[in-house]
Amino acid sequence: SIYAELFPYAYNYGLTFSAEYYFLELKRLTVFGGLGLGAAYNKYTFYYNVYLDEDKVWGVLVRPNMGGLLSLGKRGRWAARVSLCYDYATTRSDNFEYKNFTNLGIDAGIALVLR
């Protein structure tokens, strides 16, 4: 018998220019929504034991997001930032039968608020 181990991978890289609109300000919480547009580069790879087959493609990336800033003090310039984003990329691969690439992500971090 002949067999092979198959490991499929999709490596995704994106670069976007983004804009955000802050539409609701409460005491310490600011809610925002945004949109990012840019380019996506995907590398689809199938590993067959020590051999590989891959396809490298470029496409357009659209990334809407929504989140909030929570101020870390009464008049502090630092805030905790959390957002939920959805990526849609037109990185089509006919070799591996991918029509597009989508991704759901959560961003979390500390932000310096400049007003």
The percentage of residues in the chain with a pLDDT greater than 90, rounded to a whole number, is 49
For 66-115, how does the pLDDT look when each residue is reduced to its tens digit (9 = 90+)?
Answer: 999 998 877 778 999 999 999 999 988 887 777 888 889 999 999 888 77
Q: What is the pLDDT of residue 26?
A: 84
Coil, helix or strand for 90?
coil
Residue 21 to residues 5, 31, 64, 110, Cα–Cα distance (Å) = 48, 9, 12, 18
> How many whole angstroms separate alpha carbon 15 and alpha carbon 75?
33
Say which residue, 82 or 1, is predicted with more confidence.
82
Determine contact, residues 5/48, Cβ cutoff 8 Å: yes
Determine contact, residues 70/106, Cβ cutoff 8 Å: no
